Amino acid sequence: MRIPAGREPAPALRAGTDIDVLPLLISALALAALLLGGFVVVAPNRLLSGSPLSLWQAAGPGGAASLLAILGVIALLAARPALRLQRVLISLAAGALMLLSLALAGMAASEQAVAAGRLTRVSLGAGFWTLFVAGLLLLADGAEREPRRAGKALPLLATLLGLAALIASGRLAHLSLAREYAVRQQAYLDELLRHLQLTGAGLALALVAGGAIGLLAYRRPQRAGPVFAVLNIVQTIPSLALFALLIGPLTVLTGLFPALRQLGIAGIGPFPAILALGLYGLLPVARGVHAGLSAVPPAVVEAARGMGMTGGQIVRHTLIPLALPTLLQTLRLTLVQLIGLAVLAALIGAGGLGTFIFQGLGQTAADLVLLGALSAIALALIADTALRGLALFLLRRPAP
């Protein structure tokens, strides 16, 4: 008998039969990049481009050997599918890989600062980034496939804790990224907070309005088509244009009614940014709410009505609990998308992490770009992981 296409479980998921290819592949890639690319890059100052140092030159034989040893351990573990704790151990090794490469790069930076003076900038090279991303991929893969909740959370928490300890120990302070942060600590914290505020306000707007639209489309199916067609058009408009599109009308509006300006409504600044973020989140939220509610079997709703529940009770006790997986997924995807889009808010004078990216692009200061871009990526990853964790906790099974 043939097994129907696509219904067969992926062999990697069948415990104890196959060698896990992904960790092997990633370790091999990381090894290749480490041998080819520079581990760190040393530049004479902040704006000049630098020359790469290999792992061997930057970290010495001991450092290089210990990194290679971790890659070897990951490869060995990948070939032992029968091991009960295989996934957890691979994830822990991946976390160790990330932390050790960061520590080695930090120590190399300290040595260079002593040897070549304060203006020297030591930034992270292609070899480092490959190792770091390889570790990140393995962690994500492990968290996804490990069935036990403790097994999912432990490697992530251990890595985060190690990262916090590494930063607190001051070993990373001489890396160009840390120095870029140190000279603008207050501004960074302000813009980070602003980024969170913009995203939060945009998300709240999208949840309230999009949720209402989704509920309406569920209650009145004949209206769903046109409503989603309109939202689709909004989603089609390029994000940059949507941010900028509001400048004109809002400027005209505040010109006609100056009183609006006292409410914080203006053509540029946070107000149009939040409005644009809210508009962009409208379709995903409305579609998610509609899809989640529509997936609840009508018979269940009928039964609830038969038991004498009121409309509100049906929503609270039947629809929302049954639609919860889809609703949580919608929340996660929308939040991650808005965190990324809020970077553009800096272009219309609303601040946020994009400020550093666009300042850095203007000054061709790669470290400043990196500070903003990495923060935005980290924020998106943290939000994604946290909401996956929340879904796991609330639903007692992995998010779809």
Judged by CB under 8 A, does residue 182 bind other proteins?
A: no
Nearer to other proteins, 217 or 366 (CB): 366
Q: Which residue has the tokens 């060698």?
A: 19
Q: Which residue, 126 or 260, is less far from other proteins as judged by CB?
A: 126
The three-state secondary structure class of 53 is strand
The 10 Å Cβ neighbour count of residue 201 is 19
* Cβ nearer to other proteins, comparing 208 with 377: 377
Figure out which of the listed residues 58, 90, 328, 370 binds other proteins, where binding follows CB under 8 A: 370
Count of residues interacting with other proteins (CB under 8 A): 58
Binders of other proteins among residues 125 to 164 (CB under 8 A) are 126, 137, 140-141, 144
Q: Which residues contact 348 (CB under 8 A, 6 or more apart)?
A: 243, 244, 247, 268, 269, 272, 273
H-type alpha helices, 220-246: 221-236, 239-245
Q: Is 34 in the site for other proteins (CB under 8 A)?
A: no
Q: Rounded to whole angstroms, how far apart are CA atoms 66 and 70? A: 6
What sections of the chain are H helices per DSSP? 21-36, 55-78, 86-116, 126-145, 149-168, 176-182, 185-219, 221-236, 239-245, 247-256, 270-294, 298-306, 311-314, 320-341, 354-363, 366-395
Minimum distance of other proteins from residue 240's CB (angstroms): 5
Burial of 57 (0-12, 13-18, 19+ CB in 10 A): middle
What x-and-dash track marks residues 107-126 binding other proteins by CB under 8 A? -------------------x
> Which two tokens mark 268?
């540029």
- Could you tell me the CA-to-CA distances from 355 to 188, 230, 342, 352, 364 in Å, in that order? 9, 32, 10, 6, 14
Q: Is 339 in the site for other proteins (CB under 8 A)?
A: yes
Q: Which of 348, 350, 387, 391 binds other proteins (CB under 8 A)?
A: 348
Contact flag: residue 291 with other proteins (CB under 8 A): no
238 interacts with other proteins by CB under 8 A = yes
Of 34, 107, 366, 391, the one binding other proteins by CB under 8 A? 366
**Site mask for other proteins (CB under 8 A), range 58-97, x = bound:** ----------------------------------------
For other proteins, the binding residues (CB under 8 A) are: 2, 4-8, 10-13, 18, 21-22, 126, 137, 140-141, 144, 232-233, 235-241, 244-245, 247-248, 251-252, 267, 336, 339-341, 343-344, 347-348, 354, 357-358, 360-361, 366, 369-370, 372-374, 376-377, 380-381, 384
